[in-house]
Amino acid sequence: MSELRTDTITASDGTSPVTLTKQSAAKAWGHFEGDAATPVVEDGLNFASITDSGTGNYECNFISALANTTYATTLTTSQDRFSKTQGITTTAVGIDTKDTSVTLSDSDDVQFHLHGDLA
Amino acid sequence: MSEIKVDTLTGKTSAGDITVTSEGGAATQSLQQGLAKAWIHFTAVSSHTIRGSFNVSTLLDVGTGDSQYNFSNNMANDDYSTSTTSSHNIGASEGFISYLTDDQSTANTNDMRTVNASNSSYDAQSVHSVVHGSLA
């Protein structure tokens, strides 16, 4: 079995991104506690900070901007809460969480994944 | 176009950290952190059956609308991020929603619930889950 040890992979021109054959890597993901007095980031990739924009409304800010707003986002919340995106920009994704009465409500665990192109 | 054919990629400075350049060239990012660490597609109707998976050892039927799967290789902690989706197209029980069970996911298990449009626990025809985070 062959093994390549390297710290950085780029295309042969030294600057362009390398192609992952028939695969896509997430460009951002995050896990935060949305029902804390101040939402707490548990872990993430390209996840700079979270802005509490009101009850059940969060802005997840990226470290590196996305190339455009056509990226795909998937969301999951904790028990008895549902979620949707609310405002997508190249530097942040907005998330709404609601209870079973479809009323904005903070959620314990909020988790997101994002696939697309970085700037 | 140049191409390297190799079986294993390992970070030179840190074995678990290889950096790749962004599509637009404005940023660099960890390759490992962008890769899914586990995924599963299963049905919970009649019996829990795995249709496809990666880094999943077993699937458990915890109760109606309550499923748990175990990782083959454990995560580093319980701070990982999960996305779930479910569907059900049998009879009138449509409009399925899935979510995580409060504080039940650990470094070696992930627990999720599925409910129908009436917010009642219900076993879904298809449940999908993807995990991103750090492996142990």
What would the pLDDT profile of B98-134 be if each residue is shown by its tens digit?
A: 888 878 899 999 999 998 888 889 899 889 999 999 9
Is the predicted pLDDT of residue B93 greater than 80, yes or no?
A: no
Is the predicted pLDDT of residue B13 greater than 80, yes or no?
A: yes
**Does any CB of chain A come closer than 8 Å to the CB of residue B19?**
yes
Pick A119's closest partner by Cβ from B13, B27, B133. Answer: B27
Per-residue model confidence as pLDDT tens digits over A62-116: 999 999 999 999 999 987 898 999 989 999 999 999 998 889 999 999 999 999 9
**CB spacing of B81 vs A43 below 8 angstroms:** yes
Q: Count of alpha carbons within 13 Å of B25, Cβ hemisphere only?
A: 5
Instruction: Name the DSSP class of B86.
Output: E
Cα A115 from chain centroid?
9
Q: For residue A118, with 0-12 CB atoms within 10 Å meaning exposed, 13-18 middle and 19 or more buried, which class applies? A: buried
Is the predicted pLDDT of residue B46 greater than 70, yes or no?
A: yes
Strand partners, B86: B127
**Contact A31/A47 with Cβ under 8 angstroms?**
no
**CB spacing of A10 vs B20 below 8 angstroms:** yes
**Contact B86/B100 with Cβ under 8 angstroms?**
no
For the whole model, what pTM was predicted?
A: 0.90
What are the structural domains, with CATH classification, of chain B?
36-132 (2.60.40)
Pick A79's closest partner by Cβ from B5, B113, B134. Answer: B113
Strand partners, A104: A98
Considering only residues 78 to 107 of chain B, which have any Cβ-Cβ distance to chain A shorter than 8 Å? 79-85, 97-103
Q: Does residue A65 or residue B2 have the better pLDDT?
A: A65
Q: Each residue of A73-98: b (16+ CB within 10 Å) or e?
A: bbbbbbbbbbbeebeeebebbbbbbb
Q: Each residue of B109-123: b (16+ CB within 10 Å) or e?
A: bbbbbbbbeeeeebb
- Is ipTM > 0.95 here? no
Give CA separation, B19 vs A17, A85, A94, B82, B116, in Å: 10, 29, 27, 23, 42
Please provide residue B31's backbone torsions phi and psi, each rounded to the nearest 5 degrees.
Answer: -70, -45
- Determine the average pLDDT of the residues in B18-44: 94
**Contact A66/A118 with Cβ under 8 angstroms?**
yes
Q: Who contacts B43 (Cβ-Cβ below 8 Å, separation ≥6)?
A: B49, B51, B124, B125, B126, B127
Average pLDDT across chain B, whole number? 91
- Quick check: helix, strand or coil at residue B60? strand
Per-residue model confidence as pLDDT tens digits over A15-68: 888 888 878 899 999 999 999 999 999 999 999 999 999 999 999 999 999 999
Q: What is the largest CA-CA distance in chain B?
A: 56
- Quick check: helix, strand or coil at residue A61? strand
- Determine the average pLDDT of the residues in B59-88: 94
Which chain B residue has its CA at the smallest distance from A100's CA?
B119
